[in-house]
Amino acid sequence: MDRELIVAVGDLTCRYAGAPRDALRGVSLDVRAGEFHALLGPNGSGKTTLLRAALGLVRPVAGRAEILGRPAGEWSRRDLARVVGVVPQREENLFPQRVHETVLLGRYPHLSLFGGVRAADGAAVERALIACDAVDLADRWLWTLSGGEYQRVRLARALAQEPRLLVLDEPTTSLDLRHEMELFELVRDLVDGQGLAALMITHHVNLAARFADQVLILAEGRAVARGAPADVLTRETVERVFSWPVAIEPFDGRPQMIPLRRHPS
């Protein structure tokens, strides 16, 4: 089945003003509907830059970054927000806010300039809350939520945008095992059940291997490997990229990584 190409990044090179070297160098990435992509790499390897460039926030020096066949930089933010929902790594909460208000922010790209919130918007918010198992949280204040609940609510906000592509930047940092697994399961379900495309930056090599269809590993701005987890996550690659000795064991047909002690006892 030839699924629709949503993100098409080809030979992308980016450099921040005044930086001594390229933040990205010749990176390519295609994300299709119904695919779950994981983006792996050590800190500073260019993961977030790739995400920003793919979404038109960083202008590339060379190469192309297209969303649905149109250069990312040509999209208006509003039109793009109807196609791509993002759960950013960080955001500010200056003023107190309730959960349903936060999720409603995801409808903003669909609202007209002075028009009110329509029934369809309410329904979209409801669907997003149900999908993220957050209906019970709707009337809670944001600051009373646990870390896992808060991430579910932010994912619901991105879903309320009714996007074709979900982008998540390290969404499970600081979550415990259960909440982390729940989030990965949720994203997998959305991809399988609703045909969404997902692109997730994560440091969890093993969970990426278990859940993702495709893995892209970046190091120092270059793509080190790209493909199905079983093809990409070899011992040589992982050790080289993360500079640490590991063993790779298959589990459920997927590779799993076990970090080794430096001096085995």
Partner 1 sequence: MNYVLLAGAALTTLVVSLLVGPANVPLGDVLASPIVWQLRLPRAVLAFLVGGALGVSGVGLQALVRNPLADPFLLGLSGGAGLGAVVAIALHLPGPWALPLAAFVGAVGAMALVYRLGLMGGAELDPRILLLGGVAVGAFAAAVTTALVSLAEATELRNAFLWLWGGFSGASWTTVLVFLVYAPLPLVVLAALARPLDLLVLGEEPAQYLGADVRRLKRLVYLSASLLTAAAVAVAGVIGFVGLIVPHVCRLLWGRLHRTLFPTAFLTGGILLAAADTLARTVVAPRELPVGIVTALVGVPLFGFLLRRWTVS
Show the 3-state SS of 214-259. EEEEEECCEEEEEECHHHHCCHHHHHHHHCCCEEEEEECCEEEEEE
Burial 203-224 (b: 16+ CB within 10 A, else e): ebbebbbbbbbbbbbbbbbebb
CB of 49 to partner 1, least distance (A): 13
CB of 239 to partner 1, least distance (A): 33
Per-position DSSP letters for 91-122, written without gaps between them: ----S--BHHHHHHGGGGGGS-SS----HHHH
CB of 101 to partner 1, least distance (A): 7
Residue type, 90: R
CB of 237 to partner 1, least distance (A): 31
In the complex with partner 1, which residue's Cβ is closer, 97 or 173?
97
CB of 92 to partner 1, least distance (A): 5
Look-up: residue for tokens 């459920």? 252
In the complex with partner 1, which residue's Cβ is closer, 167 or 257?
167
Alpha carbons 89 and 136: distance in angstroms, whole number: 24
Alpha carbons 167 and 145: distance in angstroms, whole number: 22
In the complex with partner 1, which residue's Cβ is closer, 76 or 174?
76
User: How crowded is residue 2: how many other Cβ atoms within 10 Å of its Cβ?
Assistant: 5
CB of 177 to partner 1, least distance (A): 27
| DSSP conformation class of 68 | T
CB of 253 to partner 1, least distance (A): 35
In the complex with partner 1, which residue's Cβ is closer, 10 or 88?
88
In the complex with partner 1, which residue's Cβ is closer, 91 or 252?
91
**CB 196, CB 164: distance < 8 Å:** yes
Which residues are within 8 A (CB) of 246 and not within 5 positions of it... i.e. 6 or more apart? 235, 238, 239, 257, 258, 259, 260
Which residues in this chain contact partner 1 in the complex, by CB under 8 A?
Answer: 17, 55, 57, 76-78, 80-82, 84-86, 88, 90-97, 101, 105-106, 108-109, 111, 113-114, 157, 161, 167
In the complex with partner 1, which residue's Cβ is closer, 94 or 177?
94
In the complex with partner 1, which residue's Cβ is closer, 80 or 212?
80
